[in-house]
Structure 1
C-alpha cells in the first residue's frame, strides 16, 4: 500500500541513489522524517507520525488501511515500534516476545493482528480476523500458520473465528448468541430463499453494515425473500449497524423473546 513513507533502502531498491534523495530533499520533494526514513509531501499523516516515533502502523490502524472491517473505538494511531523506540521509552502496540524490526511503514495483516491483541477487545479482534480470512479466502488453520507470534490468547480467540462470516456485525451477533447457548448457523442457504447471514432455530437474522444502502431492486428482493421464508415457517429479523454496535442489550432481549419457544427446535434442512 502506498502511504508515501519509505525507508532509504526501499527507495534505493527503486533505482534512486543517495544523491537523488539528497537532491529531492533540497527541492522539498521529500521530507527527511528521521535518519533513514523519507516522506513525500502528500504522505499519509498517520504514517508520518509512525515514522517519527521509530515505528510502523500496526494493530487496528494497519488493519483498517488494509481494508478490513474494524469496529469503532480505535481512532488513535496504533504504532508498533522496534527496538530503537523501546530504548527511547516510547509506548507502542506490540506482539508478544522480543521486538520485531521495523522495515516498512505499514505492518502486513498477520503481524498487525498479533500486535492488535493488547489494543482490542476479544470480540472485536475476532471480527477483524473473520474479515481478513473472508477477504483472503483463508481458513482458521491457514491464518494461524501466517501469524508470526501466535499465543494462547490468540489460539483461544481463533476457536470462535469463522471465515464464512461476511460482515463484522454478523460476526459479533454470531459469537454473542453462541455464548448465550444458541445454536447459530452461518450463511445458511434456504431453498427458494438463498443465503442469509445467520440462522437460529427458525429465526433468520440479517445484519446490515454501517454504510448499508438498499436500492429499490434490493428492497423488493429482500421483501420477497422474507415472504418466502415466512411461508416456509421462518421469520426474519433485520438488524442495523447501530442495533449491534450500540444497542445490543435491547437487541438481544428481543432475540431472546423471539426464540423463547423455539430455542432448541431444529429447522428443516437448507440447501448445500
Structure 2
C-alpha cells in the first residue's frame, strides 16, 4: 500500500550525506521531527503518523483508514499497532517516558500478528491489516461500510477481502456476506443495511434515462438519496436535486432524501422513517399521527 512516509535513523540520514550538525539544524528548523529516540520523519508527515511512531508503534485501524479517506463513522482515537514483543508503549509526548496499559491519552493499541510484513522504517501497517483491525473495532454495520468504501476506492479487491476474513473469527462471515463495493459512500451502505433489515427489495446505483443515477430504489417505487453536506449544500445543487425529484415524481416515484449525518448519528429515527414510508404504501394510506 501505501503512503510514502517512513522513518529514518541517524545512520540512514548520515548515509544520505547529512552530518550530525545538519540533522540537529533540520530538527531545530522544523524540517525534520524527532518522533522518538533515533527515529526521524519529515515535518510534513501527517500528525497521526508522527504520534504513532512517538508511542513506539505504527498507525493502523480507523486512524490509518481516515488518513486514506476510507469511510469510518468515528472521528476520534489514535490506533497504533505494537509488535508482539512490546510490553508497553512510549509516551505520546516528547519526553520519551514509557506508559503502561493498552489505552492511554486516546491511544488504542493493537497486538495481532500482521498479515503483511513491514520494514523497520514503515510508519503504518498495510491496508489489509488495518481493515482486519477495523472489523474488530467497530459494530458490524460500520465494518461493512468501511470495507465497502475500501472496495469502492480500489484499495482492496476480492483476493484481499478473502485474506482479511481468513484472518478473522468465523462469526464475522456475516459481514463478508453483506459487502457491496458499488456503494459510493458509507452512508449509502448504512442505508442499504437498514432497507435490507425491513425485508424490502432494493436496487443500488440505478441509472434512469434523463435523470441520472440514484442511490437506492426500494420496492420499485421509493427512491432514497443519501445526501452529504459536501455535495448537496449549495443552493445550485439543491435546485438540481429538486428538478430530479420532480422528474422522478412524474414517473411515479417517491423521493426520500436523508442526510449522511442523520444516517450515521440518528439511525433509529431514520429506520423508523423508512418503516413508516414502506408501511404507508402497503396500507394505501398515510398516517396523520392522530
- TM-score normalised to structure 2 length: 0.76
Q: Report how far residue 174 of structure 1 moved.
A: 0.5
Is 1:240 matched up with 2:246? Answer: no
CA distance in 1, matches of 2:114, 2:160: 22
* Equivalent in 18, 21, 24 of residue 20 of structure 1: 18
Residue 148 of structure 1, CA deviation:
8.7
Conserved 8 A contact 1:187-1:195: yes
Tell whether the 8 Å contact from 1:79 to 1:93 is kept in structure 2 after alignment: yes
Per-residue CA deviations over 1:185-212 (Å, capped at 9, x if unaligned) read 1111233322100111110000012434
2:165 touches 2:176 (CA, 8 Å); kept in 1? no
Q: Aligned ranges for residues 221-232 of structure 1 at < 5 Å? A: 221-232=240-251
Specify which of 220, 241, 260 is matched with residue 239 of structure 2. 220
**Runs of 5+ unmatched residues, structure 1:** 265-272
Q: Which of 261, 277, 285 is the matching residue for 1:258?
A: 277
Q: Are 2:228 and 2:261, in contact at CA under 8 Å, matched by a contact in 1?
A: no
What is the CA–CA distance in structure 2 between the aligned matches of 1:207 and 1:238, rounded to whole Å? 6
Which residue does 2:201 correspond to in 1? 183
Q: Is 1:147 equivalent to 2:145 in the alignment?
A: no
Identify the residue that residue 135 of structure 2 maps to in structure 1.
117
Matched, 1:200 2:198: no
Q: What per-residue deviation string (whole Å, max 9, x for no partner) do you get for residues 114-151 of structure 1?
A: 12233222111111111111111765x23414539632
Equivalent pair of 2:128/2:156 in contact (CA under 8 Å): no
Gap regions ≥5 residues in structure 2: 90-99, 103-107, 284-290
Structure 1 residues 87, 252: CA separation in 2 closer, same or farther (over 3 Å shift)? closer
Cα-to-partner distance string for 1:217-269 (whole Å, 9 max, x where unaligned): 433332222112112111000001232122222222222121115469xxxxx
Residues 160-175 of structure 1: matches in 2 within 5 Å? Answer: 160-175=178-193
Give the TM-score, by structure 1 length. 0.80
